[in-house]
Amino acid sequence: MSTTTLAAVTRGRVRRDRRRRAVLAALTLAVAAMVVVSLMVGRTFYPAGDVLRVILGETVPGASFTVGELRLPRTVLALATGLCFGMGGVTFQTMMRNPLASPDIIGISSAASAAAAFAIIVLGLGETGVAVFAIVAALGVAVLIYLLSFTDGVAGTRLVLIGIGIAAMLNSATAYILNQAGQWDLQAATRWLNGSLNGSTWDETLPVLAALAVFGPVLLSRARSLTMLQLGDDTAAALGTRLERTRLVAIVAAVGLIAFATSATGPIAFVAFLAGPIAARLVGAGGSPLLPSALVGALLVLVADFLGQFAFDIRFPVGVVTGVLGAPYLIYLLVRTNRAGGSL
Amino acid sequence: MTTDHALTTEKLTVGYGDRVVIESLDLLVPPGRITAIVGANACGKSTLLRSMSRLLAPRTGHVMLDGRQVHRMPAKELARTLGLLPQSPIAPEGITVADLVGRGRNPHQRLLSRWSRDDDRAVAAALDATHTADLADRSVDELSGGQRQRVWIAMALAQQTELLLLDEPTTFLDVSHQVEVLDLLTDLNATRGTTIVMVLHDLNMAARYAGHLIALADGGLYAAGPPAEVLTEECVRAVFGLDSRVIVDPVSGRPLMLPIGRHHVSVARA
Ligand SMILES: Nc1ncnc2c1ncn2[C@@H]1O[C@H](COP(=O)(O)OP(=O)(O)OP(=O)(O)O)[C@@H](O)[C@H]1O
Ligand SMILES: [Mg+2]
């Protein structure tokens, strides 16, 4: 091998590594900045000092309630669900080699949401019961879609179409549950159909943090195998990847993240779908997309929630804002694949 | 230079669903040599390679590597010994050539290990060998079919296995790049002792470059041995249903097959 090639290879790799690290650092900073802004800014402005004192447990008149009881749980929940949706979404997209195969498009989030709405509104269960319901339903749908569209490897178009059908069914089921319970108020409806952070409490936030602490590291430990799956089953297996095991772990962990997050906030529209492609744009296609997507997901939710609360005359729930952001990209993807004459 | 690996199949039967593609096949890949597999479309060549590299479990019978059952070996350990370049591999959208070739290093990397100097060296050597070094920073999506094929071969080379199975490595390549790839594989075989098994559709290239020729017909072995013994007019008729003349290639001394179709045949048929 020539030394110039070696030097060029090393240089290229170092450059791509640097870019990745720089993007990760910038995303982390942006997320941290959004967290701080969300805590300080609102109807009333509280300086950083007050916010810090509240976090440290001191009593600050006004701020203790507004920041401690309202803004802090809401912001932490926004951060946590954003990380969950971002990481869970890109796991599916990577595994299925298809940006449309994200859990919020193919019905997995809808399943979690319908089950959570049922568990809360009809059965009146608490957080743990709701999360269990959501995860069982989401796993069930994931398995169902897998079985219905499985033909020796995962079929792209079939999977997406079947998933979209199932999502539509589940969304009407959610609407029906909301209707039947006689609780058709806008609050509940937007939460379980679009996703909302209104009225977030620590009781909802803690299970999501726990899910993140368990499933996040599990997924990250499989990061390399997951990226190998992008090469197709044969190449990935020939390079030493254990396909079934990787898929099983990835599906369970990603569904866990999605289900827990959804049972707290509802399926915040398109965050899982958007985070991966945006992250790939930023870091390039070489490495694992898990961490950058998680950060992009968090940033999307934090920014969308902030905009929804304060950018307009009326307050929009976070899912409506992300929905408006995500829909054009979905249309773009559909148009592009249609033009290319390709499959979904 | 390397230890010779014995790859064999014993009464191997494989298929998809309830459809048997290869039945009770006994095969021996001569260690340290170049083997070419030829046969008609859909006769099971890719299926055989997939099964030999553990991607497809046997119904009955075994694939044995150095006395061990391939399907019982740990995935990464096997991938350090035996590499496979599938017939139509998939490149992730937007990936650069260097990153794609780097994926070939996967079996050499532990769960948390960092990218090493050896990895860089293997990638650089693979790029040089396939004349793709100047493409290193390009996106794979933007390459021509032939460039892309050479990049895939580079990825397989970066895996640095002592056994390399390639499914139609010369498709998409123009004649000079075909020769170049086959020369490259021959060099690899000569200098490192890499055992090479490749599926080729061009019988003349197969006869010229392979020391051992395997002709498959309908999931079974039709003939195996030195090209001069295997590539005969009879074999071509049996395997491909085609009349032909086989002469001695004035360039290599190996057999050269000239097909006889329904047109443009000026000499009386044999
Ligand atoms: N994934 C699969 N599922 C079901 N059947 C398959 C699958 N892959 C191949 N087959 C079938 O198995 C048979 C052998 O296919 P294989 O790909 O091994 O042929 P091949 O000899 O490599 O052909 P070619 O020269 O066209 O590449 C064919 O009839 C094919 O239709
Ligand atoms: Mg084939």
pLDDT of residue A184: 54
Query: How would residue A156 be classed by pLDDT, with cut points 50, 70 and 90?
Result: low
Of A8, A237, A286, Cβ closest to residue B99: A286
CA distance B159 to chain A (A): 8
What residues of chain A, 283 to 302, have a C-beta less than 8 Å from chain B?
284-287
Nearest residue by C-alpha to atom 4 in ligand 1: B16
Q: Which of A43-47, A309-313, A335-339, B99-103 has the highest mean pLDDT?
A: B99-103
Assess whether pLDDT exceeds 50 at residue A37.
Answer: yes
For residues B89-99, give the mean pLDDT: 92
Position A44 scores a pLDDT of 86
- pLDDT at position A247 over 60: yes
User: Residue B265: its pLDDT value, please?
Assistant: 83
Q: Is A4 helix (H, G, I), strand (E, B) or coil?
A: helix
CB–CB of B127 and A9 under 8 A? yes
- Nearest Cα residue in chain B from A15: B137
From chain A residues 62-101, the ones with a CB under 8 A of any chain B CB are: 97
User: Among candidates A167, A144, A166, A134, which has minimal Cα distance to A257?
Assistant: A134
For the record, the structure tokens of A141 come out as 């749908």
Q: Is the pLDDT of residue B233 over 60?
A: yes
Do β-strands B243-248 and B220-225 pair in parallel, antiparallel, or remain unpaired?
Answer: unpaired
Please give, rounded to a whole number of angstroms, the shortest distance from the CA of B73 to a CA of chain A. Answer: 11
- Ligand 1, pocket residues at CB < 6 Å: A 152; B 16, 21, 39, 41-47, 87
Structural domains present in chain B: 7-260 (3.40.50.300)
How far apart are the C-alpha atoms of B1 and B29, rounded to whole Å? 18
CB within 8 Å: A9 and B16 = no
User: Mean per-residue pLDDT for A207-235?
Assistant: 94
Pocket-testing residue among B43, B87, B198, B222, ligand 1, by greatest number of atoms within 8 A of Cβ: B43
What mean pLDDT is predicted for residues A212-223? 96
Give residue B17's pLDDT: 85
**Residue carrying the six token digits 């350990």:** B77
Look over chain A and give the mean of its residue pLDDT values, rounded to a whole number: 88
Shortest Cα distance, chain A CAs vs residue B226, angstroms: 28
CB contact under 8 Å between A240 and B107, yes or no, is yes
pLDDT tens sequence across B242-255: 999 999 999 999 99
Q: What pLDDT band is residue A342 in, cutting at 50, 70 and 90? A: low
Residue owning the nearest CA to atom 11 of ligand 1: B42
Distance B38 CA to ligand 2 centre (A): 10
Q: Which of A74-83, A160-169, B54-63 has the lowest mean pLDDT?
A: A160-169
Backbone φ and ψ of B259, nearest 5°: -70, 150
B1, pLDDT greater than 50: no
Task: Please name the residues in contact with B85: beta carbons below 8 A apart, sequence gap of 6 or more.
Answer: A235, A238, B152, B153, B155, B156, B164, B165, B166, B167, B169
Atom 17 (ligand 1) nearest CA: B46
Q: Convert the pLDDT of each residue in B101-147 to its tens digit.
A: 999 999 998 876 678 889 999 999 999 999 999 999 999 999 988 89
Q: Per-residue pLDDT for A336 more than 60?
A: yes
Asked whether the predicted pLDDT for residue B71 surpasses 60, the reply is yes
Residue B166: pLDDT above 50?
A: yes
Domains parsed from chain A with CATH numbers: 16-339 (1.10.3470.10)
Of A152, A154, A233, A243, the one to substitute when testing ligand 1's pocket (max ligand atoms within 8 A of C-beta) is A152
Residue B89 Cα, ligand 2 centroid: separation in angstroms? Answer: 12
Look at ligand 1, atom 22, and give the residue with the nearest C-alpha: B46
Residues in contact with B92: Cβ distance below 8 Å, sequence separation at least 6, in sequence order: A97, A227, A230, A231, A285, B100
Chain B: which residues have CB within 8 Å of chain A? 16, 50, 53-55, 75-80, 83-86, 89-96, 98-99, 102-104, 106-107, 109, 111, 115, 120-121, 123-125, 127-129, 133, 136-137, 159
Whether pLDDT at A83 is above 90: yes
Distance between CA B96 and CA A280 in Å, rounded?
13
For the residues A48-70, what does the mean pLDDT come to?
A: 87
Taking CA A68 as the corner, what is the angle to CA A67 and CA A72, rounded to the nearest 5 degrees?
Answer: 75
* Amino acid at the residue B98: A
Most confident among A307-321, A322-336, B67-81 (mean pLDDT): B67-81
- What is the C-alpha separation between A258 and A94, in angstroms, rounded? 15
Residue pLDDT, tens place only, A126-147? 878 888 888 899 999 988 887 8
pLDDT at residue number A9: 92
* pTM (two decimals): 0.90
Q: If you measure CA to CA, which chain A residue comes closest to B134?
A: A5
> Which pLDDT value is given to residue B110?
80
Q: Which of B47, B85, B202 to mutate to test the pocket of ligand 1 (most atoms within 8 A of CB)?
A: B47
What average pLDDT score do residues A228-247 get? 92
- The reported pLDDT for the residue numbered A341 is 52
Judged against a pLDDT cut of 60, whether residue A101 lies above it is answered with yes
pLDDT at residue A185, as a whole number = 60
Whether the pLDDT of residue B21 is over 90: the answer is: yes
- What was the pLDDT predicted at A61? 86
CA contacts within 13 A on the Cβ side of B15? 14
Whether the pLDDT of residue B28 is over 60: the answer is yes
pLDDT digits (tens, 9 = 90+) for A275-327: 999 999 999 888 899 999 999 999 999 999 999 988 888 888 888 899 888 88
